[in-house]
Structure 1
Amino acid sequence: MALKPLTLTSCYLLVSFSYPAFSAQDTSEYIEWLASYTGEAAANVDGGKREGSAYAGQLFLGAEIDLEKFAGWENTKVHVAFTNRHGQNLAATHIGSSTSVQEIYGGQNSRLARLTVEKSFFDDQLQVEVGRTVANISFLGSELCQYFQTNSACGNPTFVFKTSNFTWWPVSSWGGHAKYWLSPEIYFHTGVYEENTPHQDLSDHGFDWSTDESTGVVVPVTLGYQTTWENDAYPKRYEIGGWYDGADYTDPAKDENGNFAAVTGNDYATQNGRSGIFARFEQTILRPNLNSKRSVTIFGAVLAGTSGELIEDEYIKAGFVKRGTFTGRDEDTIGFVVTQQFYNKDAIEDQRILREAKGGLGRPESSQTMMELSYGIHINDNIRVQPNVHYIINPDQFSERDRLQSLDDVWVVGVRFDVNLAGLLLR
């Protein structure tokens, strides 16, 4: 997937090494310099644990180096990326759920997030990329995610991270992927990624390249159909696929004897091997003027587990993005997304047992629904501001499994802003 400087969603941020002997202008023929800052503020105004606010941000500097122009290596590029993530997670501090309303949060610290070599073969029919990377910048991502702030849907459906060791930006490990275009619109895409749980520690900076602590790999597979603004009046993408996670994980409810660990007091069992499937789509359905990108695009996804002991069984997502709002506001957007996570009955029973043991009553809810409505204000080609409102029904308690009672539904107000620093500084 091509990564573009104005796609400022957190999953697509790139950073670069600099070359002291050259200015950006000197290297522009073979290096595309990238830099941006994304900030996401959110405040819980009703429900949850307590009212309050939190801010999270990401600074990134990056580059794509064309080795064909630089050194004569045909159809070869290098991607290199660093990030600095900082701030706090409102879901943990004030809402009480395990799914953030600030998708920029996670992998705090300064990190080497990507260092890969990409090469194309057969007139760009096959693209292969390997190195230090993550799965979610190549699989289950979407350009539409830049119009939202919720982590339930963006940068990727949260289900895949809660039910597997699917690797996520900016916590890199060894990996690679290959995409083969069966036709100009149809592709087969697969990859292999080292499980990166040990690198998720806040003290990690991305320079420990050892595989000693890894317990397996994650293998995603996708078959897709995709068109673009350049070759289709109504751009679209349809995908089906799945993943296999061959790494270790902790059973969400049972001990090694198959009994509820919350009852026996034994350790939760270590398991190995999980898998899931998905289907998703994005379809532009309205475009009044084919000379403008004013349009309405609808999207949706369904994900489900197929093996392993999972916290969630199913996940659904649906929404729309309207590009162009009022007269003269062709670059502004309105976006709405709703997701629902359906939890596994054993995982919920584990929470009920823990709640009862502490004197609480009632059974936790079996699903969580999250919604976001956003308005994106295009200040100029380098600055975008997006106020947003969230509503959460049945905040889950996977981050506080022994909570004594269920929490009230939550209203959150937020604002996201994206600044293309490269566009401001290097124009």
Structure 2
Amino acid sequence: MFFSSRALLTSSVCSGLSLLALAPCYAQADSADDLMHRSTLTGNWGGERQKLADQGIKLTGDYNSETFSNLHGGIKHGTRYSQQVRIGAQFDLSKLLDTPNAGRVQITINDRRGHSASEDLVGNRLPVQENYGGMYTRLSEFSYENTLFSPALNAKVGFLPMGNDFGGMPLLTSFVNAGFCAHPLTMSNGSGWTNYPTGHWGGELRYTVSPELTLQTALFQVNPEYNSRSSEAFTMTTKGTTGAIMPLEAIFNNNAYLNGQYKVGWYYDTSNTTKIGSKEKANNRTGAYVLVDQAIWRDEQDPDSVLRAFGQAATSNAATSAMRRWYAVGLVKQKPFASRPHDSIAFAYGRAVFNSRSRDVQEAAASTPEQADMIASLDSGEQLLELNYGAQVTPWLLVRPDVQYIIEPGAFYGKSRGNALVAGVQIKATF
């Protein structure tokens, strides 16, 4: 019933020690900039970092930990910690080859470790920690990007997660639960759609029609089995390909004083997938989504102080997707106090709707009539509330205390579980 403060403190200390261990020793020699005000933990490396950037090589790295305790409901009380370390290199070929419009190469390696609060403590479908999943070291991106024919047409090809550029809302990185951050989960649940850190072979085209309108599409390999194996973490394999997925997305930008961005998308997956509750195969999977990010208030005296509202609605294939629909709304207050220009306060509500065909399968598999009745009485979906405060302690360090309330956490698994209250902290640091 009570928050495990000792476990949280221990995990947070371990997080800090891990972060310091990753910092290059020569960062201490970088006295030209102040630790509390520079943009990255390790600084400019005595000027070497900027020299590399001037030559066309940009090196990046970041750390993200999420430690959560289950205070009430769910399966049991306890605390779980998960972390992600990401390193990347971006090569500007125009600078490196001294050739105009030569494009850019991106390489990203991702490592995840830890344990899941959702799996171990709550027993719910919408992951409490967005950085949990695929807990091993892998190559997440190896891509080449350039313009085609005109600056308005951009192309990217290679090995990367399709969700890096489709179906996301940057505003929702203000949240910790994977239900909000930063794609509707109907996409990856009901098709071959992949989000970070899982890469697939593919290509993207993006055309900027005007400052107000951008159109984009892509074609990506669908490989649900091999691309999730740790043994294939660096092979960029094509084994196990079941089909291809093609998204279409229109992005509308409202560039007014109260600005906003609206995305409308649809996707088609050619994979043959077994229908829920049947031995028959569906010869495709489709889905659609609408995403909205709109400023609804801005301080005229301080334009950085703004209140943004968001909304999401997504649907997936009725024959093959256990998560049939997703709805979410919320608010993010940026610069909540004059003295905290880079902080945020975020609140959101979301509902994931369980496919009625999947519920029928659960009822049919019940061992007793009483169990079947219990399953039938469960809610048709899982609901989520999240509230947090994002404190930008330094330009390179963000600390986000977070509280989540999960309603009907057992709805997707045919289990009767009490509504769960979890609390924890997310720590993000840029190297």
Instruction: Pick the aligned partner of 2:182 from 130, 155, 163.
Output: 155
Partner of 2:284: 273
CA distance in 1, matches of 2:244, 2:410: 28
Partner of 2:400: 386
Normalising by structure 2, report the TM-score. Answer: 0.83
Normalising by structure 1, report the TM-score. Answer: 0.84
CA distance in 2, matches of 1:58, 1:205: 19
Tell me the number of residue pairs that the alignment of Structure 1 and Structure 2 aligns: 380
Instruction: Pick the aligned partner of 1:283 from 294, 298, 314.
Output: 294
Instruction: Pick the aligned partner of 1:114 from 127, 141, 145.
Output: 141
1:306, CA displacement in angstroms? 5.1
Partner of 2:19: none
Give 2:234's aligned amino acid.
F
Partner of 1:293: 304
5 Å-filtered alignment, 1:224-235, equals 224-226=251-253, 232-235=256-259
Q: Aligned pair 1:168/2:195, yes or no?
A: yes
Deviation per residue, 1:35-70 (Å, 9 max, x gap): 110111111111111111111111011122111111
Give 2:64's aligned amino acid.
T
CA distance in 2, matches of 1:118, 1:420: 24
Partner of 1:352: 363
CA distance in 1, matches of 2:421, 2:277: 30
Q: Do the aligned residues in 2 keep the contact of 1:316 with 1:340 (CA within 8 Å)?
A: yes
Partner of 1:317: 328
Q: Aligned pair 1:125/2:171, yes or no?
A: no
1:253, CA displacement in angstroms? 2.3
CA distance in 1, matches of 2:59, 2:300: 33
Instruction: Pick the aligned partner of 2:93 from 67, 77, 89.
Output: 67
Partner of 2:225: 198
Deviation per residue, 1:157-203 (Å, 9 max, x gap): 11111111201211111012111011122011111111131234352
Structure 1 residue runs without a partner (length 5+): 1-21, 257-269, 422-427
CA separation of 1:109/1:306 partners in 2, compared to 1, >3 Å: closer, same or farther?
closer
Classify the secondary structure of the residue corresponding to 1:247: coil
Give 1:387's aligned amino acid.
P
1:254, CA displacement in angstroms? 2.2
Deviation per residue, 1:8-31 (Å, 9 max, x gap): xxxxxxxxxxxxxx9534321112
CA distance in 1, matches of 2:327, 2:217: 23
Partner of 1:57: 83
Structure 2 residue runs without a partner (length 5+): 1-46
CA distance in 2, matches of 1:349, 1:122: 53
Q: Do the aligned residues in 1 keep the contact of 2:227 with 2:237 (CA within 8 Å)?
A: no
CA distance in 1, matches of 2:341, 2:143: 36
CA distance in 2, matches of 1:282, 1:162: 23
Q: Do the aligned residues in 1 keep the contact of 2:336 with 2:344 (CA within 8 Å)?
A: yes
Deviating 4+ runs (over 4 angstroms): none
Give 1:366's aligned amino acid.
S
Deviation per residue, 1:273-322 (Å, 9 max, x gap): 11011111101111103654110010101111356432133211111110
Give 1:324's aligned amino acid.
K
Classify the secondary structure of the residue corresponding to 2:96: helix
Q: Aligned pair 1:369/2:383, yes or no?
A: yes
Give 1:152's aligned amino acid.
G
Q: Do the aligned residues in 2 keep the contact of 1:277 with 1:306 (CA within 8 Å)?
A: no
CA separation of 1:135/1:252 partners in 2, compared to 1, >3 Å: closer, same or farther?
same
CA separation of 1:357/1:211 partners in 2, compared to 1, >3 Å: closer, same or farther?
farther
1:356, CA displacement in angstroms? 3.8
CA distance in 2, matches of 1:82, 1:334: 31
Deviation per residue, 1:340-376 (Å, 9 max, x gap): 1112211111112223459624123211111110101
Q: Which has the higher helix share?
A: 2
Give 1:409's aligned amino acid.
N
1:327, CA displacement in angstroms? 3.7
Classify the secondary structure of the residue corresponding to 1:316: strand
1:73, CA displacement in angstroms? 5.0
Partner of 1:88: 115
Q: Do the aligned residues in 1 keep the contact of 2:382 with 2:411 (CA within 8 Å)?
A: no
Q: Do the aligned residues in 2 keep the contact of 1:171 with 1:196 (CA within 8 Å)?
A: no
Q: Do the aligned residues in 2 keep the contact of 1:280 with 1:302 (CA within 8 Å)?
A: yes
CA distance in 1, matches of 2:284, 2:203: 20
